[in-house]
């Protein structure tokens, strides 16, 4: 029997994917990251201790389990080495990581170009990227000018490919952006060392996962970012550069669509967005500020304040369809405590018409006016609740409202950041 769960974000990221992965972790054999890179920030809190994962799967805190970095990931070696050494300093077991030789490497020039491109876009056009070099690295992958992990670990291949690639980058850096060129040795020497450090982890991750799936091991594929940031289906151009919805899991690992047994969609009980781009239910008033403060809505990667607002049902329906969600993990319900009436967007007004569909046109998304239903709130603390029935009736009703509106069961509810602040409804 196959046992492969895919966990994906439903909104614009930061839904609490890290926490949900960690909760499921005790039952999981293999944890996998398969797209995106160190733009992700996945937080796990155990006994009040907070750990933020950027590149590594959020299952790294489970001793003895295997963690895989798949081919679809863009791997920043510096970040990888920092993150692993921080973990190892806590006494983590080294044998648990496998990296695909086909993962693309985020190089220093990708991070520089990310910054220069954002500056050049200027106000009104910038995307508000995390500055982690993600877009430029994926551009090189598709332009077939990238360096893969396997290139980094062979000094001769690295020298040969980097010579030609860096020459091209320096043309861009000097002629288009009027910056100083990057000297070859300043890039080559550290890259060679990164290759040496990565080499012990490199394995045929596709085959490794294939065998694990066929043996019935429990695999958890951990998506980064979220459906509305998808390069194809998100609010383009205000998106990230990878396939963040369910389909990215196949290209990013080499597993096949019929390997999947379940899609878990992580939905935050309200909505946040970090960076630029349309956000129909954004609240610019006191409520938005209250959500930000109560929810600690500041970026786990960049520290930027997150934009906050209400649940968007048409947007979530779109996201559920895109991901083929079987169950929802609803997070941060506790943050709505004491908010008074809880707004839920059920339709929009656009060009004098009422619509209930998520528009295909990003420009229209920026223009539409949300129509809200206001649901009754609650004031009782719910952070201690372990059972659904222990929550106040209005909190229960909010969860049921979401299930009905999206036609997907809510199998897990987050009522606080800690691992044990969770209501399990049979996930
Ligand atoms: P991710 O990128 O989807 O993994 O989410 P982040 O880690 O970037 O942001 C989620 C934040 O909310 C983190 O600070 C978590 O510790 C916190 N969090 C997760 N679930 C809950 C919850 O149910 N309640 C509260 N109050 N905080 C939560
Ligand atoms: P997790 O996995 C929230 C956003 C950036 C920016 C856009 C493009 O923690 O949910 P990029 O650096 O990827 O080119 O930036 O995408 N973004 C995220 N927002 N959570 C994330 O990851 C994000 N990763 C990228 O803010 O708007
Ligand atoms: Mg995050």
What's the pLDDT score for residue 92? 66
Ligand 3 center–CA 12 separation, angstroms? 10
d(CA 254, CA 98): 15
Question: Across residues 212-237, what is the average pLDDT?
Answer: 98
Q: Is residue 269 within 6 Å of ligand 1 at its C-beta?
A: no
Q: How confident is the model at residue 93 (pLDDT cuts 50, 70, 90)?
A: low
Residue 42 falls in the annotated catalytic set: yes
Give the residues across from 413 on adjacent strands: 330, 423
CA angle, residues 94, 147, 213, in degrees to nearest 5? 50
Residue nearest to atom 12 of ligand 1 (CA): 16
Nearest to 60 by CA among 98, 27, 23, 22: 22
pLDDT at 96: 86
Token pair recorded at residue 232: 């194809």
Q: Is 57 in the pocket of ligand 1 (CB under 6 A)?
A: no
pLDDT value of position 104: 98
Q: Is 23 in the pocket of ligand 1 (CB under 6 A)?
A: no
How far apart are the C-alpha atoms of 136 and 111, rounded to whole Å? 8
In order of 36, 207, 398, the CA distances from 15 in angstroms are 16, 31, 17
Number of the ligand closest to the Cα of 241:
2
| C-alpha 344 to ligand 3 mean position (Å) | 23
Mutate to test the pocket of ligand 2, among 11, 17, 130 (most ligand atoms within 8 A of CB): 130
Give the range among 76-90, 208-222, 279-293, 305-319 with minimum mean pLDDT. Answer: 76-90
Show contacts of 229-238: CB within 8 Å, 24+ apart.
229/9, 229/12, 229/13, 230/322, 233/322, 235/277, 235/278, 235/362, 235/365, 236/362, 237/127, 237/362, 238/127, 238/128, 238/275, 238/276, 238/277, 238/278, 238/362
Query: In which band, very low, low, confident or very high, does the pLDDT at 301 lie, cut at 50, 70 and 90?
Result: confident
Gap from CA of 256 to ligand 3 centroid (Å)? 27
Which residues contact residue 419 at a Cβ distance below 8 angstroms, ignoring those fewer than 6 apart? 19, 22, 23, 44, 45, 46, 47
Residue located nearest, by CA, to atom 13 of ligand 2: 240
Residues 92-114, mean pLDDT to the nearest whole number: 91
Best mutation site among 229, 383, 417, 422 for ligand 1, i.e. most ligand atoms within 8 A of its Cβ? 417
pLDDT for the residue 340:
92
Catalytic residue among 5, 22, 42, 54: 42
Convert the pLDDT of each residue in 370-420 to its tens digit. Answer: 999 999 999 999 999 999 999 999 999 999 999 999 999 999 999 999 999
Q: 117 C-alpha vs ligand 1 centroid, how far in Å? A: 30
The contacts found for 386-395 with CB under 8 angstroms, 24 or more apart, are 386/423, 387/423, 388/413, 388/423, 388/425, 391/333, 391/415, 391/423, 395/333, 395/336, 395/337
Residues of the chain with pLDDT > 90, as a percent, come to 93
* Mean pLDDT to the nearest integer, 209-221: 98
| pLDDT bucket at 87, cuts 50 / 70 / 90 | confident
Whether 292 lines ligand 1, by a CB cut-off of 6 Å, is no
Q: What end-to-end distance do the CA atoms of the chain give, in Å? A: 18
For a ligand 1 pocket test, name from 19, 31, 55 the mutation site with the most ligand atoms within 8 angstroms of its C-beta. 19
Q: Give the pTM.
A: 0.98
Instruction: Say if residues 209 and 24 touch (Cβ distance below 8 Å).
Output: no
Ligand 1 center to 111 CA (angstroms)? 26
The ligand that comes nearest to the alpha carbon of residue 272 is: 2
Residue 288 in this model has a pLDDT that exceeds 70? yes
CA dist., res. 423 & res. 427, Å (int): 10
Closest ligand to Cα 226: 2
Task: For ligand 1, say whether the CB of 19 is within 6 Å of any of its atoms.
Answer: yes
Q: 33: exposed, middle or buried (C-beta count within 10 Å: 0-12, 13-18, 19+)?
A: buried
Query: Which of 5, 14, 114, 287 is labelled catalytic?
Result: 14
Rg (CA), the chain: 22
Residue 170 alpha carbon to ligand 1 centre in Å: 40
Q: Is the CB of 296 under 6 A from ligand 1?
A: yes
Nearest alpha carbon to residue 411 among 222, 264, 224? 264
Q: Once rounded to an integer, what is the mean pLDDT over residues 247-257?
A: 98
| pLDDT, tens only, 119-134 | 999 888 999 999 999 9
Q: What's the whole-number mean pLDDT along residues 297-318? A: 94
pLDDT of residue 173: 98
Q: Would you say residue 95 has pLDDT above 60?
A: no
């Amino acid at each position: 029997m196959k046992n492969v769960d895919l966990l994906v974000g439903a909104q614009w990221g930061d839904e609490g994917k890290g926490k949900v992965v960690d909760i499921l972790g005790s039952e999981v054999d293999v944890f996998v990251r398969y797209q995106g890179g160190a733009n992700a920030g996945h937080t796990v809190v155990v006994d009040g201790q907070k750990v933020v994962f950027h590149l590594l799967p959020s299952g790294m805190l489970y001793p003895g389990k295997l963690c895989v970095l798949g081919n679809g990931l863009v791997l920043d070696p510096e970040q990888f080495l920092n993150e692993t050494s921080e973990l190892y300093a806590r006494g983590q077991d080294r044998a648990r990581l496998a990296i695909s030789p086909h993962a693309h490497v985020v190089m220093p020039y990708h991070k520089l170009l990310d910054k220069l491109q954002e500056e050049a876009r200027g106000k009104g056009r910038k995307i508000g990227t995390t500055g982690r070099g993600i877009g430029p690295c994926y551009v090189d992958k598709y332009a077939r000018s990238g360096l893969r992990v396997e290139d980094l670990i062979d000094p001769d291949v690295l020298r040969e490919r980097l010579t030609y690639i860096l020459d091209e980058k320096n043309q861009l850096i000097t002629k288009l952006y009027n910056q100083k060129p990057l000297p070859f040795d300043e890039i080559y020497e550290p890259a060679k060392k990164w290759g040496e450090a990565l080499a012990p982890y490199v394995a045929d991750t596709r085959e490794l996962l294939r065998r694990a799936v066929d043996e019935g091991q429990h695999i958890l594929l951990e998506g980064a970012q979220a459906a509305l940031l998808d390069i194809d289906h998100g609010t383009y151009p205000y998106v990230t550069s990878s396939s963040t919805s369910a389909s990215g899991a196949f290209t990013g690992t080499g597993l096949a669509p019929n390997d999947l047994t379940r899609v878990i969609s992580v939905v935050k009980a309200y909505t946040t967005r970090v960076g630029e781009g349309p956000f129909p239910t954004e609240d610019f008033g006191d409520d938005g500020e209250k959500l930000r403060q109560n929810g600690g809505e500041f970026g786990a990667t960049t520290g930027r304040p997150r934009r906050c607002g209400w649940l968007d049902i048409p947007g979530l329906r779109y996201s559920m369809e895109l991901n083929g969600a079987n169950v929802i993990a609803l997070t941060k319900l506790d943050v709505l405590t004491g908010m008074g009436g809880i707004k839920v967007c059920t339709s929009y007004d656009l060009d004098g018409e009422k619509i209930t569909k998520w528009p295909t046109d990003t420009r229209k998304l920026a223009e539409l006016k949300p129509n809200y239903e206001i649901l009754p709130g609650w004031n009782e603390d719910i952070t201690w609740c372990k059972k659904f029935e222990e929550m106040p009736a209005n909190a229960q009703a909010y969860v049921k409202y979401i299930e009905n509106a999206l036609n997907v069961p809510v199998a897990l509810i987050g009522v606080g950041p800690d691992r044990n602040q969770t209501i399990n409804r049979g996930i």
